[in-house]
Amino acid sequence: MIRKATVDDVKTIQKLVNKHAEKGEMLPRSMGDICDNIRDFFIYEEDGVVIGCCALHVTWVDLAEVRSLAVVTEAQGKGVGRSLLDACIHDAKKMNINRVFALTYKPVFFCKIGFNVIDKNDLPHKVWIDCVKCIKFPDCDEVAVVMDL
């Protein structure tokens, strides 16, 4: 079942995301950052257990970023990530957002769903406001992908 996250999910989201960050698969998220953006998150829950999360963060009037897509190892390859990404895309469409993007270490996953790899420099400067706070700035090694809706 996919649902919107609540504040009760903050610690679980952080644990899930940071477990993948420790493996170098994504960037870590602080508890404060997750709290600040909790309304962006979707949760995939199975039998009362959170097995995945993903966030859609609006960055401009026609652009949103897919962030922190994480699925427990045991559930990977079973459509959980795809379902979470679909929920974000559906949410973006409901808000009349024309384009979604992600900065990722797994561009193949996104490209299978219809995203295209682009140069990070093609993203609006508004996006870079978050990037300057990143531990990897200015040497970002993530791949930018985008989907026009």
| Domain residue spans of the chain | 2-148
Integer angstrom CA distances of residue 15 from 5, 12, 46, 113? 14, 5, 17, 26
- Cα–Cα distance measured from residue 104 to residue 102, given in angstroms and rounded to the nearest whole number: 6
Kindly give, in sequence order, each residue whose CB lies less than 8 Å from that of residue 142, ignoring residues fewer than 6 positions away. 27, 103, 104, 105, 120, 136
Kindly give, in sequence order, each residue whose CB lies less than 8 Å from that of residue 137, ignoring residues fewer than 6 positions away. 131
pLDDT tens sequence for the chain (149 residues) = 999 999 999 999 999 999 998 998 888 899 999 999 999 999 999 999 999 999 999 998 999 999 999 999 999 999 999 999 999 999 999 999 999 999 998 999 999 999 999 988 788 665 666 665 556 655 667 889 999 99
CATH architecture of 2-148: 3-Layer(aba) Sandwich (3.40)
* pTM of the predicted protein model: 0.90
Give the amino acid at 71: V
- Cα–Cα distance measured from residue 26 to residue 17, given in angstroms and rounded to the nearest whole number: 7
pLDDT at 100: 97
